[in-house]
Structure 1
Amino acid sequence: MRTINKNRLFWMGASLGLILDRLTKYWVVQSMTLSQSIPLWSGVFHLTYVTNTGAAFSLFSGSVWLRWLSLLVSLGLMALAWFGPGLTPSEQAGYGLILGGAMGNGIDRFATGEVVDFLDFRLIRFPVFNLADVFINIGIIFLLVAMWRQSSETQ
């Protein structure tokens, strides 16, 4: 029973991140046309359906190896949670959210060769992104908090 409960927040975060990412991308693909933009707050925040063949901010566009990187990161994180030591709650949440995001974008890359993006913050001219990207960044914040806590405890 201990193995099943090991790093439970990790598995919950990964599942939540993956499910929400897949649902929102499905909704966008089914209800919008490519390049369509729906202003939710005109000039500030729009839902804009675009695709991206690269990584963050379209870096490495068209690179086939990105799909394999997503798979490798996902497998590595699952191995860490399954075989590694017990993680702190912040580490579990962080790694889990990163896994959910990596899997969400990885599924897109393997299925179609491109990632569906739709969150468009125009006020700051930020590249269009998706929930998988949000979960990866929130996961990184959780890991930074965990590192900060560990470093303050050792001082």
Structure 2
Amino acid sequence: MTKSLKNPFFWVIALISLISDQLSKYLVVQNFELKETLALWPDVFHFTYVLNPGAAFSFFQGEVWLRWLSLVVSIGLIAFAVFGPVLNTLEQLGYGFILGGALGNGIDRFFNNCVVEGKLLTCVVDFLDFRLIHFPVFNLADIFINIGIICLLIVSFRDQPPASNSRRL
């Protein structure tokens, strides 16, 4: 008798997220020069190839611990999916998206090098450029992490017991 995979949506969405993130970055690196931009909707949305040596919004530039944080989060999520409880579908999707995004950016942090102000650093490939709102350039892994957080927030609010409005005198 075969044992079924625990939390199957977690694994599927993590794998799809990781593959789509890494494939999109590969295509950008192969087809764009660094800092090259392609206007898909002029002044609104561009593909712009940049290397980010930090985390979101380029915070913590050059910090080596970012690569280890990605690794620890990834290992923790995998352990939780394997050894933790059976999760509901939305929890599986949330944690799966976060794992896919953490692995995607983590792979970049371990294997992509760039030079910033004369220092050799590890960098994440970013290319999604919303110019209409002057938002920092980002990638699919960042989107997946945010989708995962939204899924988990929905679960946390949905599973809250209703507040009692009755007062006893």
TM-score (norm 2): 0.88
SS at match of 2:146: helix
Q: Specify every segment of 5 or more residues in structure 2 that has no aligned partner in the other structure, as ranges.
A: 113-121, 163-169
Report the counterpart of residue 139 of structure 2 in structure 1. Answer: 130
Any runs of at least 4 consecutive aligned residues in structure 1 with deviations exceeding 4 A, and if so which? none
Report sequence identity in percent: 62
Report the counterpart of residue 78 of structure 1 in structure 2. Answer: 78
Report the counterpart of residue 166 of structure 2 in structure 1. Answer: none
Equivalent runs, 1:1-155 vs 2, <5 Å? 1-2=2-3, 4-112=4-112, 113-151=122-160, 154-155=161-162
Q: CA RMSD in A?
A: 0.8
Separation (CA, whole Å) in 1 of partners of 2:45 and 2:110: 29
- After TM superposition, give the deviation of residue 5 of structure 1 in Å: 2.1
**Cα deviation per residue 1:45-65 (whole Å; 9 max; x = unaligned)?**
000000001000000000011
Separation (CA, whole Å) in 1 of partners of 2:143 and 2:130: 13
Judging by fraction of residues, say which structure has more helix.
Answer: 1
SS at match of 2:159: helix
Bigger radius of gyration, 1 or 2? 2
**Cα deviation per residue 1:103-142 (whole Å; 9 max; x = unaligned)?**
0000000002100000000000000000000000000111
Q: Specify every segment of 5 or more residues in structure 1 that has no aligned partner in the other structure, as ranges.
A: none
Give the count of matched residue pairs: 152
Separation (CA, whole Å) in 1 of partners of 2:66 and 2:28: 23
SS at match of 1:116: strand
